[in-house]
Structure 1
Amino acid sequence: MDFSQTVDSFTRRDWQGTTDGTVRFALVGLGWWTVDEAIPAIRDTDLCEVTVLVSRSQEKAQRFAEEADVPHATAGADFHDGDCADAYDAVYVATPNAYHLEYVQTAAELGKAVLCEKPMESTVERAERMVEVADDTGIPLMVAYRMHTEPAVRRARELVAGGTIGEPVQVYGNNSQSLLSLIDDPDQWRLDPDASGYGTSMMDLGIYPINTTRFILESDPVSVQAQMASTHEAFADVPDERSTATAVYEDGVHAAFTATQNAYEDTELKITGTEGQLTLSPAFHMDCELAVETDDRSFAAAADDVNEMTEEFDYFADRVLTGESMSADGDHGLYDMRVLEALHESAETGKTVTLE
């Protein structure tokens, strides 16, 4: 795809297979992301509606259901017993990482499609069990990498595939935010390894540039190195308040990624090729702008009127309704979990870790 075609059709849904039908969702986990981002985004979809809210307590679920005008609410224990099962077709799991598996298992037993937030789980072993459950029951399982349906990212992928920047050579990505400014609680789950998994910055933030690079280049990391440190007292239980990773992707592309939960907000992904450079900046916090530069051409564009979550939910629903395969399936998410495990292993040992 050339520059002019990219600009002229920047926001097109090249993935859309149907405009008919509705997928009814049960939303599991009523943190700020679900309440402030997912529910409003689903209201603007073409193919989705929220019919059930699930929280650890019936009181909390009922309260948010009334506020959001959602017809059904249930507690987690009742959800596992099949409460409201006739009222939804799919489950969106947005609990802390270490609780994803149990809800996916229940959804699978009930024959419901699953959209599970990234990262898939807290450990590789639990993510493997999730994939096995989905495969054994035959349910659709998608990991919620919303960057895959962000128009700027999809256009970037097309331009790279079309040779616009020549052969990709190197990548730089960063994702940082001040977690304690967002949630003023040092006891929150992202700082608890029992809930978050291997750590906090790479698990929650670094996964964005790592995975978005996978998607744009259509290539996987084959070896990684990392350094991590925690200095702030609130990060005492996790190893990666600050983190740096290097990776070699298939075809020899070298990448460097930084991520921290305790710094000024900044998001960027830059891919340099033999004939040009592609930059996403801002990149990962619900705003994304694509800039491309070569020796003789350049442009910048953003889909300011597109909500990434709306696109993600409609993509998932489209695949459920049409029966088509999902690009970010369980195996795709599981590979990222192995990358995350390898990065933390490298930080502990000081060695390069090869992914098989």
Structure 2
Amino acid sequence: MEFDDVFDSFAERDWQTTTEGTVRFALVGLGWWTVDEAIPAIRETDLCEVSVLISRSVEKAERYAEEADVPHAMSGDDFHDGALAEEYDAVYIATPNAYHRAYVETAADLDKAVLCEKPMAESVETAEAMVEAAEGGDVPLMVAYRMHTEPAVRRARELVEAGAIGEPVQVYGNNSQPILSLIDDPNQWRLDPDASGYGTSMMDLGIYPINTARFVLGADPVRVQAQMASYDEAFADVPDERSTATAVYEGGVHAAFTATQNAYDDTELTITGTEGQLTLSPAFHMECRLELEREGYSVSAEAEDVNEMTEEFDYFADRVLSDEPVYADGEHGLYDMRVLAALHESAESGETVALD
């Protein structure tokens, strides 16, 4: 069948334009994600290296720099003062959401390319300021949607474009995890609205299926509705321990999404069309398997030796070295922030909210 070709070149880096050069990264925010995922992933890249670690505590930065054999370390204040600017080319920001803006603005002032974790900010207004700062400084701002460079997701998009499932009709996505088992601290920033933003489950987890559907379909949600509730005492400060959202994407594709920070680890995304179905399961927690089903035909695959973070960093570096536009850029991330704001507005009002 014609669609077999997509699976034959499953792990191909179809985005790659160069194999030459190195982008030196300053990593901002030394939580478990940076230390356990980003730094090891960058070691495996072709085009990146870590040259500076940055934390609010210079002692913490120096300790991790010594452990990871990174040549330079400094505090966030030193970064904002322009220290060590000659030692890095790009900035990776993995702080709590509410702190992203200041680092983006400083990086733009220093003429540094920016890779910022998702969601890009705690509010729409802050995200708008970040986009403005990057545009004003004429620096690339990419939001770190690592699913965009996950081979299974890229192949899913190709299959949709090739008509493998016919006309897309509906989408279902789920992302859940037991956050208090993963991080045994009820005072963690993901449960603090001052640091996380509108909430926790939809901001941190629900954004994965919502955004991945945008990427695979090549379409944006235009109307959304949501229900949210918190029951556990640890989630008293956030509105969405449990959350459910529905959306209508451009072209009339209907979608339903669920997300919670307080349940068994589970991730999936299913896109059903008039002639077939694509399923990503598992989908979002550093493993991704794709299955295509049509009448009398089924095939599945995963890129077992591919690290999603390694792909993401190499993609970003490829674009910086080639002076090509990044995707997802700040405007793309800003649209997601508007979707998240609309979902929380809907949960409060009980009404469907249209995206302008």
Q: TM-score range by the shorter chain?
A: over 0.9
Q: Deviations over 1:77-123 (max 9, x none)?
A: 11100111110000000000000000000100000000000001000
Gaps of 5+ in 2: none
In 1, Cα distance between equivalents of 2:323 and 2:216: 24
In 2, Cα distance between equivalents of 1:175 and 1:48: 30
The aligned residue for residue 88 of structure 2 is: 88
In 1, Cα distance between equivalents of 2:273 and 2:147: 21
The aligned residue for residue 167 of structure 1 is: 167
Check the 8 A contact 1:2/1:164 in 2, yes or no. no
1:243-262 matches, cutoff 5 A: 243-262=243-262
In 2, Cα distance between equivalents of 1:73 and 1:47: 21
1:216 aligns with 2:219: no
State how many pairs are aligned.
356
In 1, Cα distance between equivalents of 2:126 and 2:101: 7
The aligned residue for residue 44 of structure 1 is: 44
After TM superposition, give the deviation of residue 296 of structure 1 in Å: 2.6
TM-score under structure 2 normalisation? Answer: 0.99
1:78 aligns with 2:68: no
The aligned residue for residue 113 of structure 1 is: 113
The aligned residue for residue 323 of structure 1 is: 323
In 2, Cα distance between equivalents of 1:252 and 1:8: 32
Check the 8 A contact 1:214/1:220 in 2, yes or no. yes
In 2, Cα distance between equivalents of 1:84 and 1:281: 43
In 2, Cα distance between equivalents of 1:117 and 1:298: 35
1:99-178 matches, cutoff 5 A: 99-178=99-178
After TM superposition, give the deviation of residue 8 of structure 1 in Å: 1.0
After TM superposition, give the deviation of residue 259 of structure 1 in Å: 0.1
TM-score under structure 1 normalisation? Answer: 0.99
Gaps of 5+ in 1: none
Paired AA for residue 139 in structure 2: I
The aligned residue for residue 188 of structure 2 is: 188
Q: Deviations over 1:36-65 (max 9, x none)?
A: 000000000000000000000110000000
1:253-292 matches, cutoff 5 A: 253-292=253-292
After TM superposition, give the deviation of residue 2 of structure 1 in Å: 3.4
In 2, Cα distance between equivalents of 1:56 and 1:235: 26
SS of corresponding position for 1:187: coil
In 2, Cα distance between equivalents of 1:330 and 1:355: 17
In 2, Cα distance between equivalents of 1:327 and 1:143: 8
After TM superposition, give the deviation of residue 298 of structure 1 in Å: 1.0
SS of corresponding position for 1:278: strand
Check the 8 A contact 1:175/1:259 in 2, yes or no. yes
After TM superposition, give the deviation of residue 326 of structure 1 in Å: 1.1
The aligned residue for residue 179 of structure 1 is: 179
In 2, Cα distance between equivalents of 1:79 and 1:323: 25
RMSD between aligned residues: 0.7
In 1, Cα distance between equivalents of 2:219 and 2:90: 30
